[in-house]
Homo-oligomer: A and B are copies of this chain.
């Protein structure tokens, strides 16, 4: 099975991204009190790489899962990601004013609205996962998707990683501890996205395949953060769409500060290989989209 070119990935992604944008636009901030709905839509729509939704959809297709369930799961992961950015940007956290090239939510709508919008986005993620009018998304899928998302987002996932991050400013973490922080802060939701795609299968997925996809997700999650750390020092703010160099400025530990730039690049390459090897061993027929997404994560410039 030959690997996809970037063009083939783009051809695969385009219709999926279209469905995700359309669904988010229909589901987010509609029938909400005016200012809250506006802030929620501002936080979610019209920006972002939609990496997590693409991982859900690619994993869902690899296991022949329900497209309706995967679309809901894809949107739910993006809502959790979006809420975490809104809260992360608040003055009491990173105090950032620029995100995806636009003023952050609290700059645009005020701190209280940003706080509430983030809270409401988290709740909406679980609401999207539990429709009462889509029989194809079975109660078992709904329950499993909620379980995976809650674990990925919570104190032993994303929120836990952010707490370690918060406690580690100015502290020299060793590699094991840095890895643990990122496994939780960024990795848990990326890995969770892959697992949620798997959970959209109508029948049980072979345990070897599920395990392989978990390994893929874990390696990809770490690779994503290593590349983020590299871009923080090598890219400019305009390309990133957010403030570059801020981790270094905040004296936050990063893979680059720990391993050096060349060491971090070697680490990213090794993690890419590990994620691809996991796919090879999965026994699944078609993992080309997942392969291409792993390459995209490591080769991106923003």
Contacts and interface: CB of A to CB of B under 8 A. Distances in A.
A174 interface: no
Interface stretch (A52-60, A146-154, A275-283): A146-154
Interface in A42-87: 83-84, 87
Given A35-B167, A160-B36, A154 B130 contact: no
A41 to B, nearest CB: 11
Assembly of this chain: how many copies? 2
Contacts of A124: 150, 154-155
A84 B123 CA distance: 12
Contacts of A142: 139, 142-143, 146-147
B123 A163 contact: no
A269 interface: no
Given A32-B160, A155-B40, A127 B143 contact: no
Interface stretch (A11-19, A112-120, A207-215, A241-249): A112-120
B113 A166 contact: yes
A187 to B, nearest CB: 15
Contacts of A146: 126, 129-130, 142-143, 146
A77 to B, nearest CB: 13
B33 A164 contact: yes
A132 B122 CA distance: 22
Given A126-B126, A139-B142, A146-B142, A119 B118 contact: yes
13 contacts: A33-B167, A34-B167, A36-B155, A40-B155, A92-B115, A116-B166, A126-B149, A127-B147, A130-B143, A130-B147, A130-B150, A138-B139, A143-B143
